[in-house]
Amino acid sequence: MTAKAGLLEPLNLSGLVLKNRVVMAPMTRARSGKERIPNAIMAEYYAQRASAGLIITEATTISEQANGWNESPGIYTDAMTDGWREIVDTVHGLGGAIFLQLWHTGRASHSSFHEGKPAVAPSPIKMNAEYVHTPKGKEPPEIPRPLETEEIPSLIEDYCRATERAIAAGFDGVEIHSANGYLLDTFMQSKTNQRTDRYGGSIENRYRLLDEIVEATIAVWSPSHIGVKLSPNGSFNDMGSPDYREQFTFAASQLDRFDLAYLHVVDGLDFGNHGLGEPMTLEDFRKVFRGKLIGNAGYTQETAEKAIAEGRADAIAFGRPYITNPDLVERFANGWPLNSEVDISTWYSPKGSRGYTDLPKYSEP
């Protein structure tokens, strides 16, 4: 009888052997400065968490057009690439593995990030939200400009160049961010995509952009270095479509063709749920995706162990627990209690070390 896998046991991720199945989820921490260049305090932050089996970096923009969050990092200049290289070298020196998450914020951005030009999206549909955070403070969401069909090859090339830079920086792979109401997620979902060209209308057409980006990036790097993130149940950034089950089942079945490093699914509901029907589970994705699955959102050590032991997930990503517990793996391994939450206002905004690198590791009482 085959022994069941455990959260703290190794995982072979398409040839990259992870020392455990605890994944540090991508979280936008906004410590890159106005130039968006990864820096020493970020290296310290990731080094503190290098005992994770896999670190997925905070969302990192692929171009100036992709920007939409104050002081988040980019990967589209030499200085940005050099900054990331120092972080990657630090993590690797501590025995860690690290993927770079590639990001385009889409309609969740604002014209103040783009010299007064509107953000881009599949369709001119404004996000239903009270405000967005901008360089000028809180501002109401704006109607985005729909991307022209002839602009899409250039967008795909941005993902390819970002992947090339990730290779140059020494990353173990990249994760294509197609979740949480950002550009690629809005192309996939009927709520936000009302296009009439080959990228809109049917489920197949709405998936097309993600498919073309995956094809293009695996031509730059092998599929064993590419992951994809989806959020089928999420409401973040005003998302949720009536045909979500059909759309995400189709997307996962098509992604299965590529033999990717993994599919990262926000299956938990702690990050918001659109409530349009029964939430999709990892079991739903197991039916159509044969590769490695990473679950995310609201897991505890116990529920993560159960998901892995039952074969629903190969690894589990932890977000907020990693903010307050840089030694999360060690706490899991030794049965140590987790830190209680600190001031959340320090978590996702430019506050320097506060709430970022000043969280204590466990010490015996």
DSSP symbols for 248-270 = HHHHHHHHGGG--SEEEE--SST
CA 17 → CA 22, 95, 261, distances in Å? 13, 11, 11
Percent helix, percent strand, percent coil in the chain, to nearest 5: 35, 15, 50
In the chain, beta strands by DSSP E: 11-13, 16-18, 22-24, 54-56, 60-61, 98-103, 120-121, 132-134, 137-139, 145-146, 173-177, 226-230, 262-265, 293-296, 315-318
DSSP string covering 35-64 = TT---HHHHHHHHHTTTSSEEEPPPEESSS
- Options 45, 159, 182, 262, the catalytic residue: 182
At CA 226, angle to CA 221 and CA 228, rounded to 5? 150
Instruction: Please answer whether residues 160 and 220 qualify as being in contact, where contact means their C-beta atoms are separated by less than 8 angstroms.
Output: yes
Rg of the chain's alpha carbons, rounded to an integer? 19
Which residue type is seen at 259?
D
Enumerate the β-bridge partners of residue 30. none
Structure tokens that stand for 216 in this block: 């293009």
131 is catalytic: no
Q: Answer for the pair 62, 161: CB distance below 8 angstroms, yes or no.
A: yes
- What's 124's DSSP letter? S
CA distance from start to end of the chain: 41
Compute CA distances 210 → 230, 295, 318, whole Å: 11, 20, 25
Residues carrying an active site annotation: 182
